[in-house]
Copies of this chain bind each other. A is one copy, B any other.
Amino acid sequence: MKIYPDCYSCFLKQALKTTRFAGGDEEDEWQVLKEVMKRLISLDTDQPPPVMAREIQHIVRDRLGKDDLYGQVKKDSTREVLDIYTELKKIIESAREPLDTAVRLSIAGNIIDYGSHDSFDLEETIKRVLRIPYGINDMNRFYRELERAEDILYIGDNAGETVFDRLLIETMQTPVVYAVKSGPVLNDATMEDAMDAGLDQVARIIENGSDVPGTVLKACSDEFIEYFEKADMIIAKGQGNFETLNEARRSLFFFLQTKCPVISTKLGLPKYSLVCFYHKPENIERQKENVS
């Protein structure tokens, strides 16, 4: 997915939010904004938005001389969800359709996103996501694919959300390779965050070779690409993965909540919709038609 004009104001917001979050002062804010605008003026807008989102994080890091801006927040998010792990497990086990409930919860976990939000209410989101209908519902296809899959590549998104992913992996009972970022970016999960969430107990964890908050295949490691090409089934979590993989030349499932207006429009959905979207390469043109 390319960069739309609406992304530009959002990039500036993200830059400002990250600078403040990382403890920058007003002079840092101005300098970061100016640096970001300089890049935006000559930006190749055929790239997916997360490539620029990564650049913004690096601009802030360089300015403030800090590497892992969201380290503590990621630890806190993981701890917060681990604290309700048993409760969530019970919700799934006592559900009429445990797999559907586990999928919904994994999408609820996608609200833990410091890229598109100032704040969020996890408890409220869990309640809502268990109740509402899917905006895009390819769950029947998901059941069929899962039935026949012998291995799954599960492309993670944020720390904390990882614990929800673990619950889904436990429920699916199919061998999973879980992919994380190779370096810190926003609150995206790295190897350490995945280990903190206990994902090593239920999956093989690999790094994808990149620190883009999404999955830009040409920036990924050979190991990741091999899994990407050969896995029977792929689950990709969150908007960043949708933005970078929605034109991928293989089928995969996107599990996400629509949090940005551009993606909502692209999918023809209102904000905060629940999405289980089965992507097939031949559907790419259909998506394009939704955006002017």
Contacts and interface: CB of A to CB of B under 8 A. Distances in A.
Interface of A: 5-6, 8-10, 12-13, 16, 26, 29-30, 33-34, 37-38, 40-41, 45, 292
So how many copies of this chain end up in the complex? 2
A9 B292 CA distance: 22
A31 to B, nearest CB: 10
Nearest to A29: B5
A16 B6 contact: yes
Contacts of A292: 26
A5 B34 contact: no
B9 A16 contact: yes
Nearest to A40: B37
Closest 5 CB pairs of A and B: A9-B12, A5-B29, A9-B9, A37-B37, A9-B13
A37 B34 CA distance: 9
Nearest to A34: B41
A210 B41 CA distance: 30
A41 to B, nearest CB: 5
Nearest to A6: B16
